[in-house]
Every structure is written in structure tokens, then in C-alpha cells.
Amino acid sequence: MSTPPVRVETGSDPELAVVTVNHPPLNLYDRDLHTSLNEAVTALEQQRPRGALFRAEGKVVSGGVDVRETFLPLAQTHDVEGGRRYFAELVELGERVHLLPFPTVFAAHGLTLTWAFELALACDLIVAGESASFGLIEATVGLTPAMGGTQRLAERVGQGRAKWFVMTAGRFGAAEMERWGAVDRMVPDDEVETVSRELARSLAAGPTQAHAATKEILRELAVGGLGQANARTAEIAGALFGTEDLRGAMDSFVEQGHGKATFTGR
């Protein structure tokens, strides 16, 4: 039995799920990876850890998509409906990652092209090594990104820079991406694994339902603007007063001071 291209592990810390892409030599997106990534996200939805780290094995995070397998047959037969169905699956997959009710961190240790960067943008935070680079290069084959990457990049850096990034189909280094706000933290290459794991582990140990509320309020902002986010904030944040974590953290604050509370995710 072959090893799946994507695996989900918890290891010694059951609260943190680690999602690893290992599809050598270049972690190209093909049907096997598509199926395996869907299964991995389903596992996260069912297991409901308190945090997740997305990472990849190999010299690169991904060299992009296996065009010969995925897009070429559709292009050769002018299969518009087939293309729509496939892209609908990709959009749904990115949205499912975006909607996970716990913090998600993406570790980019090297070249991160197309679907891999779109997956990173669907996560909450991106940690990148100094030599990492990023690209949405679909325009080179007459396509546009279809996992939600264009719009999520625009949310981070603005429409002008998103258009530049996508339309030029260039590759952009981690330092520039951090300056733009597309990458949240750049670290030395040999620290990517440690920093990203520690960040994900720290978030997973935090107030899980409060983190979920933060994500929900920001989604309201993205969908309906400041007015809609403000209208929903009291309901979303107010519900936290019914959680065990808030009650325990308040007791801890009164008894021990700030920063001493521990959380269970309930």
C-alpha cells in the first residue's frame, strides 16, 4: 500500500495536528494529492484539534501543478464544464481550510508556487524562511488562480499588488512578501520548522473558542465590511462568557495575575 501524499499526525501533542505534504520530487498538485488533501481536511474537521500546522517535505514546498494530468486534458477537449467542476472543488477546499474553527499556521521553507501558496493564504498565519519564494504563475498557461488565492492575497496586500502578483506571474521573495504583509513572519531558513511548530503549538494551547471568535469576526468584516463586523461582534464575543476557558482564565487572573491561565478549549 502506497503512502498518501498528505498525512495528518498529532504525535506527542494531541491538541496540535501537523499536516505534511510529501509527494516527491516536487510536491506537484495532481489527482492523488487533491484527493489526499481533501481527506486530510476532512480529518481536521472531524477530529477538531485545537490548532494545525501545514508543512511540506522536500527541497521545495511545491513546484506547482502537474499540468499534464490536471489541466491539459481539459484544455485539449475544450471541456468548460469539467474545468468549472474542478475549480469548484478547489475553491471549496480552500474555503474549508479557511473556515477551520481553530488557528492554522503554514510553514514555507522554500519555493511555494500556485496551489501551495493558495493553501498558505487560506491559513491564518504564514511563516517563511529567508530563501523561500512565492508565485501564482497560472497566467503562464492561460489560467488564473482558482483556490481562492487571488482574493485572499488581495485581502492581505490590496488589489493593486494582488493584480501585479498574479498578472505578472512572477516569483517574489520572502522579504518582499513580508514587507507587503503577505507573509506574517520571516525567519532564518534553519528556524522555519522550529518557529512554525512553536507558534502553532502556542496557539493550540490558547483559548480555542476565543481564537475561533476572532476568525469569525474577521470573516464578517471580509464579507460585509466594518458595519457588519460591528453588528455581529457582541453576539460572537458575548458567547465566550459561556465557556469554561473564560471562567477559568478570569479566576486565574484574580488569583495569580496576568498570563498564568491555562486553557482546555472548552
| SS3 at position 134 | strand
- Neighbouring-strand partners of residue 138: none
Residue of 110, 105, 86 lying closest to 206 (CA atoms) = 105
Before 24, cis peptide (omega within 30)? Answer: no
| Residue 155 known to be catalytic | no
The one catalytic residue in 15, 138, 216, 220 is 138
How many whole angstroms separate alpha carbon 113 and alpha carbon 135? 5
The x, y and z cell numbers of residue 234, run together, are: 457582541
> For residues 119 and 147, is the Cβ–Cβ distance under 8 A?
yes
- Neighbouring-strand partners of residue 126: 106
Dihedral in degrees, nearest 10, Cα atoms 49, 55, 58, 64 = 120
Q: Note the residue count of the chain.
A: 266
Rounded to the nearest 5 degrees, what angle is found at the Cα of 41, between the Cα atoms of 126 and 106? 10
CA 182 centroid distance within chain: 12
Q: Which amino acid is at 91?
A: V
Residue of 126, 122, 114 lying closest to 97 (CA atoms) = 122
The one catalytic residue in 81, 89, 118, 155 is 118
| Residue 178 known to be catalytic | no
How many whole angstroms separate alpha carbon 225 and alpha carbon 126? 24
Please identify which residue in the block is written with the cell numbers 495569580: 256
Active-site amino acid positions: 118, 138
